[in-house]
Amino acid sequence: MFKVRDMHTVDTRLQDSNRKVSWLQYVLIPRNGRRAREVSLFEENV
């Protein structure tokens, strides 16, 4: 399911109540490598 790095990212999202919507979008998007990284970078810039 989740890679170790991904699980750490998910834990961070869960702890930050202000990013629940972003976290849900991150999870719902298909988890192929480049797409996941693009979403992660996008969230960091929001």
**CA dihedral angle for residue 21, residue 28, residue 9, residue 20, rounded to 10 degrees:** 10
Domain count, the chain: 1
Ramachandran quadrant class, 5 (left: phi over 0; alpha: psi -120 to 50; beta: rest): alpha
State the pLDDT at residue 7: 52
Considering only the C-alpha atoms of the chain, give the largest distance between any 2 of them, rounded to a whole number of Å: 26
Q: What's the domain range around 34?
A: 4-45
Q: What pTM was computed for the model?
A: 0.16
CA distance 30 to 17: 23
Give the tens place of pLDDT for each residue, 3-43. Answer: 545 555 555 555 555 555 565 555 655 555 555 555 555 55
Q: How confident is residue 1, by pLDDT bands cut at 50, 70 and 90? A: very low
